[in-house]
Chains A and B, each alone.
Chain A
Amino acid sequence: MTTPDSEAPDNFGEQFLDDYFAECDEHIAAVRRHLLALDQQVGEGRIDSALLDELFRSFHTIKGISGMVGFREEEQLAHRIEDTLRAVRQGDVSLNVDRIDGLIESVALLDRRLAARRSTAPLPVLPDEDAAAIQPPDAAAGTAGSGPLLTFSIEFTPTPALAERGININSLRARMQEIGEILKSTPTVKGQGEISFQFQVRTHVDLMARPEWNSEGVQTKAEAHVPDIHRPAPKVASSNVVRVDLVRLDELIRIVGEMVTSRARMEDQVKQARKNLPSPEWRAMFESAQTMARQLRDLRDGVMRVRMVQIGEIFDRMQFVVRDMARESGKRVIVNVIGQETEIDKFLIERLMDPLLHLVRNAVSHGLERPDERRSAGKPPEGRLTLRATTIGEKVSIEIADDGRGIDVERVAERARATGLLAPGVPLDDARLLELICYPGFSTRVEADRESGRGVGMDVVKSTVEALTGTLSFSTQTDQGSRFCIEVPLTLAMADALIVTVCGQTYAVPQLTVREVFEVEPSAVRALERNEMIAHRGSALPLFRLSEFFKLTEPHHSRDRRFHVFVTGTGNNALGIAVDRIVGHQEIVVRTIGDSLVQVPGIAGATDLGDEKVVLILDVPALRRSALQERMMRTGN
């Protein structure tokens, strides 16, 4: 990025002096007019607060720009005048003739200072003082005129076409100010996010008799006469929303997590105390512990909920990307969004942003065809992209589907066989297809495709999803399109986990990834070449030993003992992961391990079980993928 276009900071303002002086002049002229009007009003015993507002604003602006160009004295002077006006506005001091004189004097002083400044700088010709400043002003220019005062409500909806012809908010307002006074201006959102502006205008002119007030985006209606000038002060609704720093929130969640672990420990100790305490006292203590468990659960849920955001925010951003890409590539795309209010953990959404964008870009650049191609295929010229989010139990499912050409299965198969990733004669189903296209470096595109973006390939999509203990799946049909589905847990920070031991090491296994658990007799294990398997529910379940994957050995580890297996995946993808023992089941706080030094395959994060010892969390989908890939390559099975 280049450096800012300025010299030393103090000199920045110098290039704007012409504008500065010109603007100050305008404001001072207006201020003089207003002060004279105010003088008259004080004499008549009434004060127009709108006038005070305008005065205030003028000095506020003068203060602001004086500060910016480095004229400190002028800034301070304007500030003092602003203070006086503020006090008057708030009713702290009253406005009387003396005070107005004081204000006029201050304005004169300001003017003289500015003149002095100007004389040392190259000057544009100063405009003559506005002759109107000396005349007694009309508080509302334009109501001079005959006939009754009428009120109209005017609605204007801007469009690019109108804007091109010079018909826009400013031109309309100028027209309105010419014929009368604008009492109110309110923007409203309509329909698909268009904005329309409503004005209330008071004038002597009968706008309904003039066709130009009901054409070209402008609609006028007559209204009952509104007698009072009073312009409402800016409404500033107080917000029900507080911005929360995610870091602080994570800290809170961490503390809640620690409380959960402490409470679990305490529960154990309470149970132990049973034999030492008289029953009624123990009972009381036990019940307190139970109550606290419930409260803690509520607290945890509450804090988690704060982290939830609507996925609609992401979908909006994706639509922007789609529109942009479609424009670039000459394709037409209609985006269907379903389930925008679906809530998802903010942390998750931030991590999923890049993968989701990648899938969307893929869909638009590779999946969807150009309008002419689509027509010849008998499809409507606009491609359809569907973004859908739903909650299923404790998981969120995000789907990106297109109705384009689908993945070219043959081409993928060809390339996979050519690079040895697929044994010949092995058929490709959707799951295997997904594995292949997610294989690092596997791409049927030779050149990096600008449209798809660099740096995020399908392999990164898959690994990101799995690092979040989620799953990626997909289906495709030639000429009909593809659909990618990402499933992730609702929140990441805490999870139910199985606690397992292998060769003296303890690991946590996220419950979400486990379908079932069972015990195995060593004699029941069958081996085919180097692949082990076991009969389970009437079919052969491949077996994968964690000890081998992690290269763990223990001197007394014996293969003759019964061991435990937990099953992950379904159908053809089911896999049994063998550990020594499953020792229990616990709720854990999931901590990601950021440092690359310890990011190893098969480990998704860390936690502790209450005794300050770090316990690693298994990345079950990665383990499964690794195991199955290995087997696929060995035997094509």
Chain B
Amino acid sequence: MPQATGTESFILFEIAGTTYAVRSSVVQQVQMIEHVTPVPNAIPVVEGVVHARGRVIPALNLRVRFGFPKVPFDLRSRLVVINSGGRLVGLVVDTAREFVFIPDTSIEVPPDGLSKLSGKYLDGIATIKERLILILNIEQVIDVSGLEDMAAELPS
């Protein structure tokens, strides 16, 4: 993959009108959402499990993750399959169709006071042709250890 020094490639996707980016190096594939099997008693952010390349992986609903209301899937919904530290996780997003190079110089540190998203999910912010792109820290996004404490327990 030819690239100028000091740029990295990203996959862009949208959630609730905002554009996010993940480093393409962690993206294994982007697929349409066919069938998601719900997993009973899982935390709400887990949409369920899906097939991806012969494996069964969890599908995380990023709308729920970032605090947006859920919407039904449509033809544009996508599953972005991420490989992070050996974990394969699928991210449910509204749409995903762009592959861009972003030069390092265009990436800034996220400012304080970004509501709805705690700073730890963001690695940086880029502005490309007046478009704001939020670059995600994928390890933080798929780390739900804090949320699991709130998981539904065995009925008793």
CA distance in complex: A594, B43 (Å): 16
Chain A residues contacting B156 (CB-CB under 8 Å) are 630, 633
Establish whether residues B49 and A598, one from each chain, have CB atoms under 8 Å apart when the complex forms.
Answer: yes
9-residue interface stretch from A293-301, A318-326, A389-397, A602-610: A602-610
Q: Which of B51-59, B68-76, B108-116, B117-125 contacts A (4 or more CB under 8 A)?
A: B51-59
**B154 CB-CB contact with A under 8 Å:** yes
Interface string of B32-55 (1 = CB under 8 A from A): 001101111111001011110011
Roughly how many angstroms separate A615 CA and B152 CA in the complex, as a whole number? 21
Among the 9-residue stretches A347-355, A521-529, A548-556, A563-571, the one with 4 or more Cβ atoms under 8 Å from chain B is A548-556
Tell whether A235 is near chain B: CB-to-CB under 8 Å: no
Select A551's contact among B142, B148, B152, beta carbons within 8 Å.
Answer: B152
Residues of A close to B60: CB separation below 8 A:
597
**What is the bound-complex CA distance between A591 and B50, given in angstroms?**
12
Contacts known (A548-B155, A595-B58, A597-B89); A614 close to B49, Cβ less than 8 A: yes
Question: CB distance B41 to A598 under 8 Å?
Answer: no
In-complex Cβ contact of A601 among B37, B41, B89, B142 (8 A): B41
- Pair A552/B88 contact, Cβ less than 8 Å: no
Q: Closest B residue to A548 by CB, please name it.
A: B155
Q: Assuming A548-B155, A551-B41, A552-B40, is B35 touching A598 (CB within 8 A)?
A: no
Indicate if the CB atoms of B37 and A614 lie closer than 8 Å: yes
Point out the residue from B41, B56, B152 that lies within 8 Å of A593, measured CB to CB. B56
Contact of B40 among A551, A608, A630 (CB under 8 A): A551
Residue of A nearest to B86 (CB): A594
Q: How far, in Å, is A89 (CB) from chain B's closest CB?
A: 49
Check if A595 sits within 8 Å of B89, measured CB to CB. yes
Which residue in A549, A598, A601, A626 is a CB contact (below 8 Å) of B58? A598
**B46 adjacent to A597 (CB under 8 Å):** yes
- Interface contact A603-B154, CB-CB below 8 Å: no
User: From residue A628, how far is it (CB to closest CB) to chain B in Å?
Assistant: 12
**Which of A254, A606, A626 meets B49, CB within 8 Å?**
A606
A258 to B51 CA separation, bound complex (whole angstroms): 13
Q: Is B144 in the interface zone, CB < 8 Å from A?
A: yes
Nearest neighbor of A605 in chain B, beta-carbon distance: B56
Residues of A within 8 A of B37 (CB): 505, 606, 613-616
Query: Does the CB pair B155–A612 fall under 8 Å?
Result: no
Other-chain residue from B39, B54, B142 in contact with A616 (beta carbon distance below 8 A):
B39
A566–B60 CA distance with the chains assembled, in angstroms: 33
CB distance from A519 to the nearest CB of B (A): 24
Question: What is the CB-to-nearest-CB distance from A612 to chain B, in angstroms, rounded to a whole number?
Answer: 6
A600 within 8 A of B: yes
B-binding residues in A (CB < 8 A): 254, 258, 505, 548-552, 591, 593-598, 600-603, 606, 608, 612-616, 626, 630, 633
Q: Can you identify 11 A-B contacts, CB atoms within 8 angstroms? A: A550-B40, A551-B40, A551-B41, A595-B57, A595-B58, A597-B142, A598-B42, A602-B41, A612-B34, A614-B49, A614-B50
17 new A-B contacts, CB < 8 A, other than A505-B38, A614-B50, are A254-B54, A258-B54, A551-B41, A593-B49, A593-B58, A594-B87, A595-B58, A595-B89, A597-B60, A598-B42, A602-B40, A603-B39, A603-B40, A613-B35, A613-B51, A614-B56, A630-B155
